[in-house]
A and B are shown apart, each in its own frame.
Chain A
Amino acid sequence: MQANFEANANRTMRQALLFSVFIIASCGLVYELVAGALSSYLLGDSVTQFSTVIGVYLFAMGCGSWASKYLTHNLVKRFIEIELMVGLVGGFSAAILFLVFANIGYNAGVPFQGILYLLVFIIGTLVGLEIPLVMRILEQELTLKDLVSQVLTFDYLGALAVSLAFPILLVPHLGLLRTSLVFGLMNVFVAVWAVWVFRVQLKQAKALLVQCGVVTLLLLAGLVFANQLTQFSEEKLFDDHIIFSKSTKYQRIILTQWRDDTRLFLNGNLQFSSRDEYRYHEALIHPALSAITSPKRVLVLGGGDGLAVREILKYPSIKNITLVDLDSEMTAIFKSNLRLSELNQHAFSSPKVNIITGDAFLWLDQHQDFYDFIVVDFPDPTNFSLGKLYTNTFYKLIAEHLSQHGLAVVQSTSPLYARQSFWCINNTIESAGLIATPYHTLVPSFGEWGYVIASHLPYTSPKYIPIQNLQFITPEILPSLFVFPLDMQKLPSEINRLNNQALVHYYDAEWKHQGP
C-alpha cells in the first residue's frame, strides 16, 4: 500500500517528514510544560506538580508507542488524524485547565488534578503514537539504524528548542494560553502538509482537509478570545481585585475592590460589601438607637470596621463610644487607610470614640460601667471560640452593663438560611433575663439578615427617627422589620451555653455561609 515515489521527491519528502518530527516533538514538550507550569501556578508546589506531570506524560507516551503496533492500516491517514487530535486537545489544554480550575476553585484540588492528569495522559498517548508512526511511514526508505538515529535526533532537537524557548520567549510573550494554542496550530500545519504530500495515496484527502480546516478555525478562535478567556477565569478565581491582604495574629483580612464596590473578608467570610453595607448597618443601629431618649454612652463590641460607629455618631446627644475589638490591625487600617476611613466617614478619628484592643468577653468581665446602647457585632458562630460570644453567660454580662432604659442589639445571622441558629440566639438572650425583640431585613450581598434587640424594659419601635440622610431606615418601614413571614418564624431551641455550644452545632448543620 506504500506508494512509489520518484527518487527526488523521495528525498525532499524524507527531509520534510523529519522536520515534522522536529515540530511534533516541540509541540509534545510544550503541552507537557504548559500542564506543569499551569498546575504549579494554580496549585503551588512546583516540584511536585512538574514531576507528577512529567511522570504521567512519559508513562502515557510509553502507552502510546506500545499501542502504535495495533495501527496497521492507513498509517498516513491515522497519522494525520492523530496530529489533528494532538493539535486540538494540546492546543486547548491550557484553556481547559484554566476554566476547570476557575469553576471548581481552590477547594477542590482533587477533581482538578484528576482532569489535569487525564489531559496529560491523552496528550502523552497521542504524542507517543506519533513517532512510531512516522518511523513506520519512513521505514521503506531508510535502514532501521539510520531511521532510528535520524528520527531521534530531530525528536531531541525539537525538545531542546522548546525547552529553551518556553521560559525565555513563549511564556513571557504569549502566555500559557496562547502558547499552547499556537503549538496546536503547528500540529495542524504538519497535518495539512502531510495531506498534501500524500494526496495521491490518500483516499479521503478532501475530508481530511475539511477536518484540518475546522480544527484550525477553532484554534484561531481560541487565539482571538484568549484574552477574554484569561480574564474570565481569573475573575472567577479571584472574584475581585485584592487591594489589601494581611494575616494578623487573629485572622486573615482581605479587602477587594471591583469598580466602586469594596468588600471586606475575614478568614474568607464576607463581612460587608460597600454597595449595600448601609442597609446592614442602618438596620443594625437605628431601630434601637433612635428608640432611646437622649443616648449618651455607647459600647460597641466587635465592629472594627467602624461602620456601625459611623451610624452611631449621627446622634448628637452621644458623648462617648467605646469600641472593643480584638484586632488592632483591623481598627488601624480602618482609621488610616484613605478609602476605608472614607467608608466609615473617619469615625475612628472622632474625639468621642475610644478604641480598645481586647477580648470582648474578658473586657466585660473586668469592667463595671453601664451603657445606654450596646452593639454586639461579631462574626457568625462558625467555631467554638466565636460560639462563646453568643452564650447566655455572655448575654448576662451584657445585661449587667446595660442601663435600665438602655438597649443592646445583637447581629444574629440569617433567620432564613440559619433559622434555628437565629432563634437559638433569640432564645438564649431571653434565658439571660433580657427581653428579646427580633427583627430582620434584606442585605443583598448577604441575603435575608437578622438582629435581636435585648433590653430590660419592653422595646417599642420609634414613631420618629431624629436624624436625616438615611438611605434605608425610615419610621414607615420600621414596623415591617419586626414581622417574620412563615418561613422564618420562631422555632424552639436549646439555650446556647458555654458547656454545650448548641449554637455552633445548629449553625454548622444549617450552613457554612459567608456572612458577618
Chain B
Amino acid sequence: MNRREFLLSLAATPFLICCSPEKKAFSGQLLGANFKAGHQLRSGNLPKFSQTKRTKVAIIGGGISGLSAGWYLQKNGMADYTIFELESEIGGNARSGQNQTSVYPWGAHYLPIPNADAHLLKQFLAECGAITENADSAKPTYNERYLCFSPEERLYINGLWQDGIVPNNGLTQAEKLEMQAFEREMQGFSLAVGSDGKPAFTIPLADSSKDPQFTQLDKISMADYLHSQGWHSAPVHWYANYACRDDYGMHHTHISAWAGIHYFAARRGMAANAENGQELTWPQGNAWLAAQLAAAQTQNIHNNAMAHSINLERHQVTIDVLNLNTQQSTRWLADHVIYATPLHTLPYVLRNQNDISNAARTLQHAPWLVANITINQPELLDSNQALAWDNVIYDSPALGYVVANHQDVRRFHDKSVLTYYQSFGELSNSQARKLLQEKLWPFFAENIVKDLQKAHPDIRQQIENIDIWRWGHAMIYPQVGFLNNAQRLLLNQPQGRLHIAHTDAAGVSIFEEAFAQGTQAAQAILNIIS
C-alpha cells in the first residue's frame, strides 16, 4: 500500500464533522469505483490463469452497454455468453445505493421518452412495464409511476425559485427575447431534415443526417455558435452551458456546437399520456433500467470479475479474467468479445491491437462528483415554488440536485435523499481528477453545503448524512470536431472478433447510446454466427 492508497482508504472511512458548535454535525462517507482493481490493472501485477473455460461471446463490462448486448443475445435465442463485471454490482454509471430513507442513484438517473423510431428501445420498455400500451405507435402509453411526477424542474435565480429551468425570473426584456430566439432556433433544428432525408439531429447520433449544413456545426464550440448568432447575454450562455455541463460534464466553450445543439434538438419522443420529451425516472435512477436489462440473464453475469488481458487470435479470442475475491485468473476462450467498458482501460487490456489502443488513448473523459444527501423535513425546501424533481441553482458551479424519492406516491416524507451532481468544467480534467483524489470528505461536504445554502440558507440543520462518490473518468465528452474524428470512427468499426460497445465510442454518454451500442454489437455477432 503506497501513501496515496493509504490516504484514499482513510478517506473512504466514515467521517463525522463536529467543527464549531453552531454547525450541526452530519455523517458521511467518501466512495468511488474500485480503485484497488484499477491500480492492479495498470500495474500489470496480475496472476497467471489457473484454469480455462469456454463461452461463445464474452461481454466485458456490466454497464448499460454490456447488459443491453446480453439482453439482445438472450432475446434472440443465444444463451451461451458471459458478462464480466469488475464491481460487486452491475450498472456501471447507472449504479445505485440505498439507505433507510430511500434508494438513490450514484450516476445516471433518467431517460427521456424515446423517439418514435427507437423501436427496439420501446420494445424493451414495454417488456419491463415502462410502456403499458401501444409500444409500436408514435405515442405509446407510459407507466405513470415512472413518468416524472409534477413539478419536474425549478430554477433558483435572482433570489427566487421559478418554474422550469429556462431562465426567466428577473431577466431584462432583451434577455428574454434572446432566450426565446434561442429556443426557437433549437425548435427549428429539432424539426430539420438534411439533404439525405435523415433528421438533422437524432439518437443514436450516428443516424443523424450527414448534411454538411448541420455537421459543420461540429467545427466550432457551443459558446462560439451562440456568439455567431449574436447571442451574448448571460442567461442564454448560462442555459446552453448548463446543458453541456449537465449532459457532457464540460463547459460549452469545449463542447462541439453540433453536440450542444443535439442535446436540445434530438429528442422528439411523444406519449399518449405525457408532454413531449418528458422524462422517465426512478428512485434508484437508471439502476432500475439496468436491473430490468439484467433480470433475465442473471445466470450469465459474473461480478467481481475483471478482464485484464485480451488476445485476438485467428480462430478465437482469449480473455483472462481475475476474480477479485479469490485473486485467481481464468482464461476464457470465446468466439467473440464485446468490449463494454470505458475505453481508457483498453490499452491495458488489449494485448495485440495497437491501432485500437492508440485510438482509445485519444479519448477525453470528464470527472464527476455525485453526493447523496439525506435530509429531514424536506418540506422546508418548498419555498415560493414547491420542491421539484430537479432543482437547479443559477449561481452555482454544480448542477443542482434531484430528489431521489420524488417518485414516491406518499403525501409526506419525514426524510428525503437529494442526489447532488457536480461536473468540473472550470478545471482541466487532470486538475479535477487530482482534486477528487486528494481532497477528503470534509472538503467536499463543506463545499456542497455552502453551494446549497445559496438557495436554502438553513439547510445545514436539515442534513443528516452526505455520502460522496467520485467518478474519476465518468464519461466521454464531445469536443469540437468529435463527430468526424477518425480515431472515434475507428473505435466504432468491428475489429474481427472484437466489438467495441460503449458510450465512449458513441461520443456522447447517454442511456440510449449505450443501449444502441450494446444491441448493435450483439446483432453484428449474431449476423456473423448465423
Contacts and interface: CB of A to CB of B under 8 A. Distances in A.
Interface of A: 249-250, 326, 359, 361-362, 365, 383-386, 388-389, 391-394, 495, 497-501
Given A359-B412, A365-B409, A499-B274, A384 B144 contact: no
B409 A250 contact: no
Given A498-B145, A499-B274, A499-B278, A385 B150 contact: no
A388 B409 contact: yes
A500 B151 CA distance: 7
B410 A498 contact: no
Nearest to B386: A384
A326 B411 contact: yes
A493 to B, nearest CB: 15
B409 A362 contact: yes
Interface in B493-509: none
B402 to A, nearest CB: 15
Interface in B118-167: 144-145, 147-152
Given A393-B144, A497-B273, A384 B412 contact: no
Nearest to A359: B410
Contacts of A495: 273
B395 interface: no
Interface of B: 144-145, 147-152, 273-275, 278, 386, 409-412, 414
A361 B411 contact: yes
A259 to B, nearest CB: 35
* Most chain B beta-carbon neighbours within 10 Å: one of A365, A386, A392, A500: A500
B411 A499 contact: no
A491 B409 CA distance: 28
Given A326-B412, A359-B410, A384 B151 contact: yes
B275 A385 contact: no
B144 A362 contact: no
24 contacts: A249-B412, A250-B412, A359-B409, A359-B410, A359-B411, A361-B411, A362-B409, A365-B409, A388-B409, A389-B411, A392-B144, A394-B409, A497-B150, A497-B273, A498-B144, A498-B149, A498-B150, A499-B144, A499-B274, A499-B275, A499-B278, A500-B150, A500-B275, A501-B151
Q: Which 5 A-B pairs rank lowest in CB-CB distance, beginning with the nearest?
A: A501-B150, A499-B147, A361-B409, A385-B411, A359-B410
A388 B275 CA distance: 18
Contacts of B144: 391-393, 497-499
Contacts of B147: 497-499
Contacts of A391: 144
Most A-side CB within 10 Å, residue of B151, B273, B411:
B411
Nearest to B279: A499
B332 to A, nearest CB: 44
Given A249-B412, A499-B152, 16 more contacts: A250-B411, A250-B412, A326-B412, A362-B409, A365-B409, A384-B386, A385-B412, A391-B144, A392-B144, A393-B409, A497-B147, A498-B147, A498-B149, A499-B150, A500-B150, A501-B150
B413 to A, nearest CB: 9
Contacts of B386: 383-384
A362 B410 contact: yes
Contacts of A362: 409-410
A386 B145 contact: no
Contacts of A394: 409
Contacts of A389: 411
A361 B412 contact: no
A359 B409 CA distance: 9
Nearest to B407: A498
B169 to A, nearest CB: 18
Nearest to A496: B150
A391 B414 CA distance: 23
Nearest to A326: B411
Contacts of B412: 249-250, 326, 359, 385
A362 B410 CA distance: 6
A499 B148 contact: yes
A84 B94 CA distance: 80
Nearest to A502: B150
A304 to B, nearest CB: 13
A130 to B, nearest CB: 45
Nearest to A504: B150
A388 B147 CA distance: 13
Contacts of B274: 497, 499-500
A118 to B, nearest CB: 29
Contacts of B414: 249
A392 to B, nearest CB: 7
A76 B420 CA distance: 74
A247 to B, nearest CB: 13
Interface centre among A249, A326, A498, A499 (most CB of B within 10 A): A499
B346 to A, nearest CB: 41
A388 B411 contact: yes
A397 B386 CA distance: 26
Contacts of A392: 144
A500 B152 CA distance: 9
Nearest to B147: A499
Contacts of A365: 409
Contacts of B411: 250, 326, 359, 361, 385-386, 388-389
Nearest to A386: B411
A119 B409 CA distance: 52
Contacts of A500: 150, 274-275
A394 B274 CA distance: 17
Nearest to B388: A384
A384 B410 contact: no
Most buried by A among B149, B151, B273, B414: B149
A362 B278 CA distance: 24
B34 to A, nearest CB: 36
